[in-house]
Structure formats: structure tokens, C-alpha cells
Amino acid sequence: MLTPTLPETKPIKLSVRDMAFSYGPKKILDGLSLDIHAERVTAIIGPSGCGKSTFLKCFNRIHEVAADVNVGGDIQIDGVDIYRGGIDVVDLRRRVGMVFQKPNPFPKSIYENVAFGPRLFGVKDRATLDGIVEDALRKAALWDEVKDRLKESASGMSGGQQQRLCIARALAVNPEVLLMDEPCSALDPIATSKIEDLIGELKESLTIVIVTHNMQQAARVSDYTAFFWLGKLVEMDLTERIFTTPRVQMTEDYITGRFG
Amino acid sequence: MNVAVPVFRRSRTSKVVDRLMRGVLWAIALTFVAVLILFVGAILKQGWPVLNLGFLTKMPETLDAGGGIKPQIFNSIYLVVLSLGISLPVGLGAGIYMAAYAGQGRALRFLRLCIETLAATPSIVLALFGMIVFVQAMGWSFSIRSGALTLALLNIPVITRVTEVSLLAVPRELKEASYGLGATKLQTILKVALPYAATGILTGLVLTAGRAFGESAILVFTAGTNASAQFPDFRLTVPGETLSVHLWYVTSDGTLPDAREIAAGTAAVMILVLLTLNLLVRLVDRAIRRRTR
């Protein structure tokens, strides 16, 4: 009932079944089931505090760094359970990259930021690193702007450039999935539209899940949209359907700004 | 429905109080700086006439005037380096453990309390501990090694605490970014957290070095009040009188006719060394910041 109905040619990349998430005694997500298709952009929308970001962070288990959390149900990547399937969390995080709400480049040079990931995995050869860095920066549509100042500190860049650098940094370890947690919320409209264009290009080869507060953004960039409310999935469908003919009244009310 | 909108005006008194506080804080700061300048000025003024190449490069005399402080300068630096060589790895390791590995439980709070207590322990207590353990029980007598180890006890809690605090101040976003790329905990600490915390740790390290450099009580009881007749004497088993101990010793012993001059010169040398040390660290710190921020 909550899954889209159009014939989909792309395989399921991430599959979530009956997922629950609690942080200590506090239940944040409950009874979630949905599928995310490869090489599509899936947007997660919903009011603040509905568990969107938490949901996103479950895919690369980054929340485990900060606190003791409890994840129930099943989350699979390519059919393998990421919590119990014997997956190495380090390898999982390489495969499932993340771009955060606030640009968070390392206080290092532009080059070193992008080379950070490959270096973690033992790439030492200078020529190989140079190639990876250039390729990642090109994919993030940043190469032309920074190719002459790769040695300069990343903190001297504009917010939009920093965020694209963070995308390049994530791309440098060749991920299969890119999680984006409100990647434009700290950016101006021009920088935002650059990131949105980029999302359109990246989905050619990546599965993208993006959390956003911005309805127009969800409508512009995504193929699928899932609407969350109070830790539950209300409705998920093709984006154009969610925004034109949602099946649940609450979805329509939220999208048209009647609540939330 | 009309609601009377109040006129929001800043009250007069709040402006006056604001200005008054600014003045008061300025006065306090100025007084402090003035006292500092007077203090350093007085020491340098008294010590200046004594400071010459001979004073810095001659061996000390025991009964006659005109002795130098060459071995004391060497011993001061040697002991600071040795004690930091012991306390830096231990303190750094303990600080990393507390910031990143220890669980956030009662045990950690207790450990932190212990470290803070140790940091606040009067140095004379550490001095007597060092004398009983290293000088007497271990049979090392008054020696460089007894002094260096006891001095390390003084440094370790401070370095531990500074490391912990600096690491905890690393923004969560940076650690998340690192983990998000597939870094392990150790990689995150070594490649992201420590470089970020480096300036804080470095500052703490210099304060520690300065304190160790000026420490007297501990060294009187563990490194002794004699300097080796050889120069430079790197042996760990010989007594090693430092500048501050020498300063105390010549003035309280009273056998030297020029004890006052020697003390004044020694104090001036110490102040100059500490000033240089601090300036040097400022430069290094600025260089690190420029490179990484």
C-alpha cells in the first residue's frame, strides 16, 4: 500500500522492513518499511523531529559513534542485513557515504580533504591520489574552481564550495549510496541550485537519499518522496504523485503548508 | 483590536552600567599588566649587571665570588626535557583514553577526580614522595633520574587533563565526517582529532614545561643541591642542581660573598628563558594555525 506502483527498472538498493529505532528509552522510529531503488533520488520529507535524519543515519550506522542506540527490524543493502549480516561497519561507511547538514571540511587543504578517504584505505601512490582527487572534484563540479589552489585551506572557500568539497570527499572512496542530510540548509539559493544540479548528475551512478525541509527541493531533485510524521512513514510514492495526487490527506496537508 | 505597542527604549542606567563595567575591566587588566611589567622589570634590572658571557659559561664557585651558572642552565633544560619525555607519552595516552575510550560512567568521573587531585597536589608533597620512593627506597640518592621521575609526576596530570579537554573540544561534525568516510576510531583520533587539538595540547605543554622549569621544592629533595663538576654531564645518576634550586640555595646557604648578585642573575636568566619559550610557542602555534585552519 505504501510502495510505488509504477514499473521500476532499477533494482532495490536499500530495503527497510519493520524498522524501529530507539535512543535509550525514547522511541524515535517505529514500524518503518520502504524500498530505495538504485540510481534514483529518494527524498525524505516531514516536520522537524519526525525522525528523518535519524532514519538516514541508520544506513551507515554513524549514530553509533555518539551514543548507545537500538535498531530493530531489518535494513538491507543489496540484500545483506547491515546490522546483523556480518558487514564490517568501516566497509559499510565506505559504501554508504554521507553529506551533512553543515559543510564540515577538515581543517586541511582542499587536496587533503579529498585524499583523506583514499588514504584511510591505504592509497599512498601520489599519481593515483592525484587522479582520484581530480576525478572526485570533477564529479562534484568543483574542479574548475579549485584546480589552481588545491594546496589552500578548505576553510577559505565559500559555504557552497565547502559543501561540494564534502561531496567530493565522500565520492573519493567510490561509494554506492550517498546520504544527504539537508545538504543545502546552510546555503544561499545559487549554491543550492548548484548542489541540486549535481544531485541530478550523480544519480546516474549512485543511489541518493536526501533529507530536506524544502518541499520545492524535494519536488525538483527526487524521483521518490517519502513523508514521515512522528517517527512513522505516512506515505511513499513517485515524487510527482506525492506532489499532485497524494493518497493520504495528511501528506497533502503537509505539502500544501497546512501544518508542519 | 488595538493593542498599545510599548516603546522599546534602552534604559539609561543599562548604558551607564555597560560603560562603567568596561572601565572597571580595563582598570583591572591595566593594573595587572603594570604589576607584571614592574615585576619583570625589577628582576631584569637587578640581574642585568650580572649577566655576561662569563656568568653564563663559568662553573659555580663554592666559597669565592665570581662563579657562573653553566651547569645549572644545563641541568634545568635537561631535567625539563627528561621529565617531559616521560610525562608526554603517558599524559597524552591517558588523555586520549579519557576523551575517546573510557565509558561515560562513574569510573571515569572517579578517574578524573583522581587526576585533578593529583594536579592540585602541592609540589612539596610530591617532593617528599619522590625522596622516599626514588631517593631512598630505590637507592638512587639525589640524582637526575630521581628528579626527572618526580617532576614527571607533577607534569602527567596536567598534560592528561589538557589533552582530554582539547580532544573533547574537537567539533563533533569533524569526527562524524571522518567516521562517515570509513575511518576507524584510531584513524579518527590520529588524523582528525589530534591535529585539531594540537594547538591546545601544545599550549598546555608549554605551561607544563614552564612550571617544571621553575619548580624548586621537588628538585631540592630529589635532584639535590649539587651540580656535577663535569660539563655537559648527561649521566642520570649524578645530582643535578637546577637554576631555581641554585637561586634558593645560594641565598639560604650564605657562604658565597656574591650570593645576592648570583641570585639576581639567575632569576633574570630564568625569566628570559621563560619569555623566549613562550614567544617560541606563539610562533609555532601561529604556524600550525595558518597551515590547518
pLDDT tens sequence across B239-291:
999 999 999 999 998 788 888 899 999 999 999 999 998 898 888 888 877 76
Alpha-carbon distance of A149 to B169, in angstroms, equals: 29
Regarding whether B74 and B42 lie in a shared domain, the answer is no
Amino acid at A43: A
The confidence score (pLDDT) of residue A56 equals 94
B6 belongs to a structural domain: no
Residues of B in contact with A108 (CB under 8 A): 195, 292
Regarding whether B84 and B27 lie in a shared domain, the answer is no
Comparing C-alpha atoms, which of B240, B145, B161 is closest to residue B207?
A: B161
Which segment of A31-45, B23-37, B99-113, B128-142 scores lowest on mean pLDDT? B99-113
Mean pLDDT of chain B: 91
Q: Which domain holds residue B211?
A: 53-292
Regarding whether B30 and B62 lie in a shared domain, the answer is no
Check if the beta carbon of residue B224 is closer than 8 Å to that of residue B239: yes
Cell of A256: 500544501
Whether residue B232 has a cis bond before it, omega within 30° of 0 = yes
Which residues are bridge partners to A15 per DSSP? A35, A76
The confidence score (pLDDT) of residue A86 equals 78
Render pLDDT for B201-228 as a digit per residue (tens, 0 to 9): 998 999 899 999 999 999 999 999 998 8
Regarding whether B112 and B30 lie in a shared domain, the answer is no
Cell of A85: 549480516
Cα-only R_g, chain A: 18
The confidence score (pLDDT) of residue B243 equals 94
| Residue B174: CB atoms within 10 Å | 18
Regarding whether B59 and B43 lie in a shared domain, the answer is no
Residues of B in contact with A62 (CB under 8 A): 176, 179-180
Interface test with B, best of A56, A58, A108 (most B CBs within 10 A): A108
B151 belongs to a structural domain: yes
Domain count, chain B: 2
Regarding whether B142 and B19 lie in a shared domain, the answer is no
B99 belongs to a structural domain: yes
Q: Does the distance separating the beta carbons of A169 and B177 come in below 8 Å?
A: yes
Q: How confident is the model at residue B231 (pLDDT cuts 50, 70, 90)?
A: confident
Alpha-carbon distance of B59 to B112, in angstroms, equals: 45
Render pLDDT for A237-252 as a digit per residue (tens, 0 to 9): 999 999 999 999 999 9
Helices B70-96 and B259-292: angle between axes, nearest 10 degrees: 40
Regarding whether B200 and B114 lie in a shared domain, the answer is yes
Residue B237 has pLDDT above 50, yes or no: yes
Identify the closest residue of chain B to A108 by CA–CA distance. B292
B3 belongs to a structural domain: no
Q: Does the distance separating the beta carbons of B196 and A169 come in below 8 Å?
A: no
Q: How confident is the model at residue A1 (pLDDT cuts 50, 70, 90)?
A: very low
Regarding whether B28 and B141 lie in a shared domain, the answer is no
Alpha-carbon distance of B61 to B64, in angstroms, equals: 6
Q: How confident is the model at residue A170 (pLDDT cuts 50, 70, 90)?
A: very high
Residue A42 has pLDDT above 90, yes or no: yes
B251 belongs to a structural domain: yes
- Give the closest of A60, A90, A102 to B184, CB-based: A90
Asked if the C-beta of B28 comes within 8 angstroms of chain A's C-beta atoms, the answer is no
Regarding whether B105 and B30 lie in a shared domain, the answer is no
Residue A42: is it exposed, middle or buried by C-beta count within 10 angstroms (0-12/13-18/19+)? buried
The confidence score (pLDDT) of residue B219 equals 95
The confidence score (pLDDT) of residue A258 equals 81
The confidence score (pLDDT) of residue A151 equals 94
B268 belongs to a structural domain: yes
DSSP string of chain A, one letter each residue: --S--S---SPEEEEEEEEEEEETTEEEEEEEEEEEETT-EEEEE-STTSSHHHHHHHTTTGGGGTS-EEEEEEEEETTEETTTS---HHHHHHHEEEE-SS----SSBHHHHHHHHHHHTT---HHHHHHHHHHHHHHTT-HHHHTT-TTSBGGGS-HHHHHHHHHHHHHTT--SEEEEESTTTTS-HHHHHHHHHHHHHHTTT-EEEEE-S-HHHHHHH-SEEEEEETTEEEEEEEHHHHHHS-SSHHHHHHHTTS--
Residue B154 has pLDDT above 80, yes or no: yes
Render pLDDT for B118-137 as a digit per residue (tens, 0 to 9): 999 999 999 999 999 999 99
What is this structure's pTM? Answer: 0.84
Regarding whether B236 and B179 lie in a shared domain, the answer is yes
Check if the beta carbon of residue A260 is closer than 8 Å to that of residue A46: yes
Angle ∠(B71,B74,B75) on CA atoms, nearest 5: 85
Comparing C-alpha atoms, which of A3, A48, A47 is closest to residue A241?
A: A3
Render pLDDT for B43-71 as a digit per residue (tens, 0 to 9): 999 999 988 888 998 898 888 888 889 99
Regarding whether B71 and B19 lie in a shared domain, the answer is no
CATH of the domain at B275: 1.10.3720.10
Asked if the C-beta of B101 comes within 8 angstroms of chain A's C-beta atoms, the answer is no
Rounded to 10 degrees, the C-alpha dihedral B190/B193/B199/B203 comes to: -90
What are A's interface residues with B at a Cβ cutoff of 8 A? 60, 62, 65-66, 90-91, 93-94, 97-98, 100, 102, 104-108, 116-117, 120-121, 153, 155, 166, 169-170, 173
Cell of B147: 628528579
Regarding whether B249 and B105 lie in a shared domain, the answer is yes
The confidence score (pLDDT) of residue B108 equals 86
Cell of B262: 648570583
CB proximity under 8 Å: B 147-206 to A? 171-184, 187, 191-192, 195-196
- Give the closest of A66, A104, A173 to B177, CB-based: A104
Alpha-carbon distance of A258 to A251, in angstroms, equals: 10
Which segment of A4-8, A30-34, A72-76, A227-231 scores lowest on mean pLDDT? A4-8
The confidence score (pLDDT) of residue A58 equals 92
B1 belongs to a structural domain: no
Q: Which residue would you say has higher pLDDT here, A87 or A103?
A: A103
Identify the closest residue of chain A to B289 by CA–CA distance. A107
Residues of A in contact with B196 (CB under 8 A): 107
Rounded to 10 degrees, the C-alpha dihedral A107/A113/A119/A124 comes to: -100
B4 belongs to a structural domain: no
Residue A2 has pLDDT above 70, yes or no: no
Question: In Å, how far are A167, B95, B141, B193, B194 from B164, measured between CA atoms?
Answer: 31, 4, 35, 11, 10
Q: How confident is the model at residue A5 (pLDDT cuts 50, 70, 90)?
A: low
